[in-house]
Structure 1
Amino acid sequence: MSKEIINYLRQSAPAHHPGWGGPEYSSWQDEQLSWKNSCYVGDWSFLWDVEFQGPQALELFRNTGVNSVENFAIGQAKHLVQCDRNGKVVAEGILMRLGEDHFSSQGGTAFWSAFRADKDGYNLVWTEQQTFQLQVSGPTALAVCQAVTGEELLDIKFMHFREVTIAGRKVRALRQGMAGEIGFEFHGAAADKDVVNAAILKAGQAHGIRRLGRRTAMINHLEAAFPTSLWHFLPSSFGPDSEGYLEFIYANFDLKGIVPVLRGSFEGNSIDDYLFSPYELGWGRSVKFDHEFTGRDALEREAENPRRARVTLEFDNEDVVAIYASLFGADEPFDYLDMPHPHRWVNWADAVSKDGRPAGISSTPGYSLYFRKVLALAFIDVELSAPGTRVEVLWGSPGTRQTVIRATVAPAPYKQDNRRAELR
């Protein structure tokens, strides 16, 4: 059955990105430099937004999340990571505490939390919200957000939020920074999205703001080392803990064209070979053993002896150029390495080796104009994770002409992390 799942995922057709607006607005090159030189506004409104309210809401997140919720204040947000019994990540996303028994969650963790709430009979009510999520990030993001809200915003700590007003509309301002720079994400009613977005763009004109299109939107996740479900890794959606989960999603949510799709050279014997733990994905600091949660036993064992680590791989330029050169040769071209990253929603898994020995998996590659490199987040053996280590990435889907891309291990995040910089 596990092999059948792998074959199904390989045969699925990738969907166009459902969000982020147009393919590009100024140009993908110009937009990609925005979070280095100025800032961008990106539209993540396609993410599902679910609110949970009831006396057992906090208990749900305590029991399913690896994060501690013991000092979880109202007005605070967490990157909630949820695992199956084997310690493999089944869902992750932002969780915001709106009130004592009132929470909001976006993305995969919204799905999984709603599923577990119904399946396990928690005393709470969950409801999908129709909202927008507009993200402003980059060196000039604070100035833009101050201008559009008419507030200093200096009181909002990292991963905290509060209500502000934009163009007469009440919105929540969450301080985060998915580009590895200071940033705010504004959440509000879907009906107010166009008015708020227009106000942000107007306020940003003096600060070099750009609109972020889908052709380059995920490069910020790559440079800043934010693994994303169904893009950089497969969530554990097919195991015994997930029985009925996919049916629940299809019955309750509009998937907006996002379907699990698998590409790349890695050929696992089981779907388990494609799954990762929080430690492997670089989220080990979020794992707290101050409470019981699904997957705790497995993660306690792994914490003592982690097997793999998250790194960035720099692809050798000449090997990348050879892939493009094959388009003009007489032999079968190699699989195309999309620029600046795949234009459709797809999960990539390439085999990584060292001296002919399997060493891990490299995820969706992307071209960084700023660094002039093709980069990829990879999850490789701990002993090979030191920066400067040389490895090989097998390029090409099974059954196609394949080649080896030489690569160098680099830190993850690749770009300096400025998210927590002091606001002033």
Structure 2
Amino acid sequence: MRACLKWEETRMSKEVIQFLRMTPPGYHPGFGGPEFTDWMDEQMSWKTTAYIGDWSFLWDVELSGPDAEKLLKSICTNSFENFTPGKAKHAIMCNDAGQVAGEGVLMRMSDDTFRTQSASAFWAAYQAEESGLDVKWREIKTFQLQVSGPAALSICQKVTGETLDDIKFMHFREMKIAGCTVYALRQGMAGEPGFEFHGDEADIETVRAAILEAGEEFGIRRLGRRTAMINHLEAAFPTGAWHYLMAHFLPQDQGFFPFLGANFDTGGVLPVLRGSLEPEDVNEILFTPYELGWGKMVKFDHDFKGRDALEKAVNEPSRCRVTLEFNSEDVVDIYASLFQEGEHYDYLDIPTPHRWMVWADEVQKDGAKVGISSTPGYSYYFRKVLALAFLDETQAGIGNEVEIVWGAPGHPKKLIRAKVCPAPYKQDNRRAEMKTLETA
């Protein structure tokens, strides 16, 4: 069933907020089974061994034609200098207000052919349709299998039979796994070295089985749905429809949701808002690349959608991306309320919520609102509940103490003490020298 959001009005008002609160959260099977070993064991994999994670549910769009690069330059904040075939980038796409409307990996397959996944696929396809340029788009059916962690290089070299440590970060090349053609993209969504293999969806079981067999001696784990998003949280990769809301609400973008519903099966992942924050205006829960921690991807060496707004935003007060570390005693109080008489606090689902939604809790300092805390998650490795948060610059100092308002509108409220910590919370090792593990 193809889902389509239908707005009578696309106004920056409480009516949009009410719509988002009333929309039921989607249930997307996403990464495979809820658990394969158990979620705690799986969370340890990207620190001690490696995991294989299945992101094949993400939408994959190919853009081709004489104007393909021209289109992408017009909608991406990123520079396209030296962006040659075999390279990839984290593409950031904004609306006219400079708010992030799409982002995801962009791979240059040839001079006039590109592929992009996730929310950037939707936005790029829509802009291609609207542009009038000589560019075609089509959804392609591919698999995307990530292998990441300390043992990733050893596993990937074994399964491909090739030396891979010469592949630079965010570069890819074609190779074979069990006779199937794949593209090996070096990246690291867990903040650890790794590769993402892309190939024809018909080959997924053959390729997955080969990777699991190669990884058995290294202790590879399959990454289940319950814990997959923890690596995004620890490594500070804000994810649309999870940590923040995509900016598709300007009147000039009102054709986007009908286009989305007519051309893609979203699998139940739609804009949904939960949490204690009660914004007056939808702009409060939309973010620029600077606020999401992606300022280095904004390059003013070309014209692109949202450029004027972002040039002004450079010198304006902004919110900063940080990690909030929840006070463990206050978290325990939430669970304790379930075993006491009277009203209880809203349940804090661990390791992460089971359904797709954007979580926005109000963050306070001395009773004043100072930012937004996004979808919380429990890190078994750090034994803490964490959340990516977007705080006023004056409150974003490491070690600052703030309070998170816990409880949906109309529900009992609890103030959870929280400490401002770096984002990423876990050390970023993606660009570290890749090493082959020796096994006994």
TM band (smaller chain):
over 0.9
What does 1:133-282 align with in structure 2 at a 5 Å threshold? 133-282=144-293
Rounded to whole Å, the distance in 2 between the matches of 1:77 and 1:241 is 30
Give unmatched runs, 5+ long, in structure 2: 1-10, 436-440
1:413 aligns with 2:438: no
Give unmatched runs, 5+ long, in structure 1: none
What code does the residue aligned with 1:254 have?
D
Rounded to whole Å, the distance in 2 between the matches of 1:176 and 1:20 is 18
Deviation at 1:18, TM superposition (A): 2.8
Partner of 2:409: 398
Does the aligned pair in 2 maintain the 1:95–1:104 contact within 8 Å?
yes
Partner of 2:55: 44
Cα RMSD (Å): 0.9
What code does the residue aligned with 2:66 have?
P
Q: Secondary structure at the match of 2:175?
A: strand
Deviation at 1:240, TM superposition (A): 2.2
What does 1:49-88 align with in structure 2 at a 5 Å threshold? 49-88=60-99
1:27 to 22, 38, 46: 38
Partner of 1:10: 21
Partner of 1:290: 301
Q: Secondary structure at the match of 1:344?
A: coil
Deviation at 1:306, TM superposition (A): 4.0
Deviation at 1:423, TM superposition (A): 2.4
Deviation at 1:305, TM superposition (A): 3.1
Rounded to whole Å, the distance in 1 between the matches of 2:319 and 2:269 is 28
Deviation at 1:106, TM superposition (A): 0.3
Cα deviation 1:204-231 (Å, max 9, x = unaligned): 0011100000000100000000000000
Q: Secondary structure at the match of 1:139?
A: coil
What code does the residue aligned with 1:265 have?
S
Deviation at 1:100, TM superposition (A): 0.4
Tell me the TM-score normalised to structure 2 length: 0.95
1:386 to 377, 382, 397: 397
What code does the residue aligned with 1:90 have?
A
Cα deviation 1:18-64 (Å, max 9, x = unaligned): 31110000000000110011010000000000000001100111111
What does 1:311-322 align with in structure 2 at a 5 Å threshold? 311-322=322-333
What code does the residue aligned with 1:131 have?
T
1:127 to 119, 122, 138: 138
Rounded to whole Å, the distance in 2 between the matches of 1:116 and 1:306 is 30
What code does the residue aligned with 1:10 have?
R
Once the two structures are overlaid, the 10-residue window that deviates more, 305-314 or 411-420, is 305-314
The runs of at least 4 consecutive aligned structure 1 residues that moved more than 3 Å come to none
1:100 aligns with 2:111: yes
Q: Secondary structure at the match of 1:162?
A: strand
Rounded to whole Å, the distance in 2 between the matches of 1:115 and 1:294 is 13
Tell me the TM-score normalised to structure 1 length: 0.99
Q: Secondary structure at the match of 2:228?
A: coil
What code does the residue aligned with 1:248 have?
F
Deviation at 1:241, TM superposition (A): 3.5
Partner of 2:3: none
Rounded to whole Å, the distance in 1 between the matches of 2:241 and 2:49 is 29
Does the aligned pair in 1 maintain the 2:246–2:286 contact within 8 Å?
yes
Q: Secondary structure at the match of 1:290?
A: coil
Does the aligned pair in 2 maintain the 1:17–1:343 contact within 8 Å?
no
Cα deviation 1:228-260 (Å, max 9, x = unaligned): 000000000111232110100000011112122
Q: Secondary structure at the match of 2:314?
A: helix
Q: Secondary structure at the match of 1:222?
A: helix
Rounded to whole Å, the distance in 1 between the matches of 2:251 and 2:109 is 32
Deviation at 1:417, TM superposition (A): 0.3
Q: Secondary structure at the match of 1:58?
A: helix
Percent identity reads: 61
Rounded to whole Å, the distance in 1 between the matches of 2:122 and 2:357 is 19
What does 1:107-126 align with in structure 2 at a 5 Å threshold? 107-126=118-137
Does the aligned pair in 2 maintain the 1:18–1:257 contact within 8 Å?
no
How many pairs align? 424
